[in-house]
Amino acid sequence: MMLAYLLNQYPKTSHSFIRREIRELERQGWQVQRMALRPCSEPLPDPADRDEQARTTYILGNGSVVKLLTATAAMLTRHPRRFARALTLTVRMAGRSLRPWPYHLLYLVEACQVARLLRASHLHAHFGTNAAQVAMLAATLADISYSFTVHGPEEFDHAASLHLRDKIRHAAFVVAISTFGRSQLYRLLPHAEWHKVIIIRCGLDAGYGDSTPATLPHAPLLVCVGRLCEQKGQLLLLEAASRLRNAGIALQLLLAGDGELRGELQQLSARLGLDDVLHISGWLSGEQIRAALLNARAMVLPSFAEGLPVALMEAMALGRPVLSTYVAGIPELVRPGRNGWLVPAGDTDALALALTQLLATPLATLARMGEQGRQDVARQHSLEREVATLSDHFRQHCAARTP
């Protein structure tokens, strides 16, 4: 059985959950054709991502202009009715969009090339942004079914201008990664279309947390894993860390990741006198993140906006308690007093207090919380089980013939 996956950029360091999903589908018997609109411009420290890059076909790149125009001309002449339907969708999507109409014409041209390359009878995209639009157009051109996964928060922030409702209407089904995400999609749809929305949670490989040391390290190291960007709340974390430092509470802070906020974080660290407390590692491989979490007392992620962070799942699977915020799907995983702490997003006072409580908690208690977290992740985020459910939906909606 053949599936195709389409993404804007793939592989990407922060999207390891997509790689896991694809590889588990292959383990369960699918052949997966990987396509991306463009390669990721960020470094790929993980060997598994570099392997995925070699297996991915890119729509844009060297010599792509001739290929795109050729594919468009071929689609127009061989399948004029399908092309007309796709063009009608393109015009509709350009209305009230954040992007001007030339971008939407480019999406149509890209979709022609995707349709030409398709060997699958179902196309799946991740994120409800431009990749989902290209997937919708390509499925129309190739006369196959398509679906996509919505993660948030970007899709929910711009649902109207992204025409998320129209994309769902033309999809065979749409995936939410949490009950919160499903509720936001319900808001966009009439009740008669709610059945299209299913929950497939991001998952971890069985045994991800095996062989984790039973005891936590004595060093007061806290790790924040994630892209350095406004929505992850790292600037607020530095403000809270400064309060602890001024109160004489020892701590070390590792920001594992990179991004557009790195320069501002470094400037704030110098201004607050945290340069001996803070270390920014840049992008790390999966094994390096695992090692960083195992060396830490806890994982901290004070996000302002999220879907449901896989980094929290990884930390909990490794037996580490977590501190995060009451945002989106996070409270579905993090239970205060059981496996971590939750604070209101954007509240420096609450974050500083929770950090103080975390660092004052005996290691034996933290270890018990970590074990509870490990059990919770194993119960809710089994990669094999979640992908098996997704696979069932693919089977139901695959066309009877190969395009």
Per residue in 296-318, pLDDT (tens digit) is 999 999 999 999 999 999 999 99
Alpha-carbon distances of 246 from 222, 277, 295, rounded to whole Å = 17, 12, 24
What's the whole-model pTM score? Answer: 0.94
DSSP string, 322-390: EEEES-TTGGGT--BTTTEEEE-TT-HHHHHHHHHHHHHS-HHHHHHHHHHHHHHHHHH-BHHHHHHHH
Q: Which long-range contacts (CB under 8 A, 24 or more apart) does 59-62 make?
A: 59/35, 59/110, 59/113, 59/114, 60/110
Place of tokens 């600037």: 235
Q: Buried b / exposed e across 163-197, counting CB within 10 Å, b at 16+?
A: bbeebbebbbbbbbbbebbbebbeebbeeeeeebb
The domains found in the chain, sorted by start residue, are: 2-203+383-397 (3.40.50.2000), 221-380 (3.40.50.2000)
Across 120-128, average pLDDT: 97
Q: Given a cut of 70, is residue 73 above it in pLDDT?
A: yes
pLDDT at 258: 96
Alpha-carbon distance 86 to 243, whole Å?
Answer: 56
Per residue in 352-365, pLDDT (tens digit) is 999 999 999 999 99
- SS3 assignment, position 143: coil
Tell me 233's DSSP state.
T
pLDDT at 379: 93
